[in-house]
Amino acid sequence: MRWGSAGWGSGMMGVVIFSGSLPATRVAVAGFPPLFLTSARAVIAAVLAVALLSILRQTRPARSDLRPLAVVALGVVVGFPLLTALALQRITSAQSIVFIGLLPLATALFGVLRSRERPKPAFWLFSTLGGFAVAGFALAQGGGASLAGGLLMVAAILLCGLGYAEGAVLSRRLGGWQVISWALVLASPAMVAAAILTMPDDWTGVGAPAWIGLGYVSVFSMLVGFVFWYRGLALGGIAGVGQLQLLQPLLGLALAGLLLHEPVAWTMIAVTGLVVLCVAGARKFA
């Protein structure tokens, strides 16, 4: 019980931090190309990760850990940031946030495959209801641009769920912050090259909000949030704690409305409220 409570508390901290990711990305992508934003945030976070690993004298991961670390890097260092940045050129951050309601289902599915967790059938009912609610919202948006943005977000969610589950399993051996740190280090050569190749030719047009957005996604979304999140998944269970992500749309929509002054339609609020109700049922049967 003590470890389970600690896992849920740590997971909730991660969700609070991640809730600012999409609004911050929305601001940053207005000043930076998506490919540069993806690589730059990874490079900045990798520099911090190297400092932490060196100061705390962490031993290098075993060769057998390199494959799962590569999966983590593909999912949460490269795939999710890049695809969401591309999506946010086509949809608003408020619209993209609602897609986060699919993350608990994706994380739970990959958690079953990777850690052999076996939630009760009722868990899948509540998780699926939340997923269908989000999918219905996406289909109702219509329009070529919105559809393209929605498909990019779905792809991002699948890669992110895979990275979450793989990282949670590995965190039980290496520790939460060590997993994301080593994944950042592993991806850093490719990310440095990508950052150099895609950097803007003219920096004068990059405003302060874009720099602040880049700073947030680099430090908090890419590193600090994962310290809490992977610890929560490892201690409290991937499927169960993963349902906390259903609370992320509420926090993200509030931020999008308050900070970016984006319109938050009643349909977004309705869908978000429905998926939040699903977390209680899913949590009970996880």
The structure tokens listed for 84 are: 């969401």
pLDDT per residue as tens digits for the range 87-127: 888 887 767 777 777 787 888 888 877 766 677 777 778 77
Chain position carrying tokens 């308050």? 258
- In the 8-state DSSP scheme, what is residue 29? T
Residues 6+ apart with CB under 8 A from 44: 214, 215, 218, 219, 222
Tell me: pLDDT of 14 over 70: yes
More confident residue, 138 or 50: 50
* Residue 71: pLDDT band with limits 50, 70, 90: very high
pLDDT of residue 282: 65
The structure tokens listed for 264 are: 């938050």
pLDDT per residue as tens digits for the range 73-84: 999 999 998 898
Percent of the chain with pLDDT over 90: 32
Cβ atoms within 10 A of the Cβ of 270, count?
11
Specify whether the CB–CB gap between 149 and 97 falls below 8 A.
no
More confident residue, 42 or 91: 42
Cβ atoms within 10 A of the Cβ of 208, count?
9
Of the ranges 35-39, 147-151, 210-214, which one carries the lowest mean pLDDT score?
Answer: 147-151
Q: How far is CA 211 from the centre of its chain?
A: 20
Tell me: pLDDT of 145 over 60: no
pLDDT per residue as tens digits for the range 168-203: 889 888 888 899 999 999 999 999 999 999 998 888
**Of 190, 164, 173, 152, which is closest to residue 65 (Cα–Cα)?**
173
Tell me: pLDDT of 2 over 70: no
Angstrom distance (rounded) from CA 241 to CA 10: 9
Domain ranges of the chain: 9-284
pTM strictly above 0.75? yes
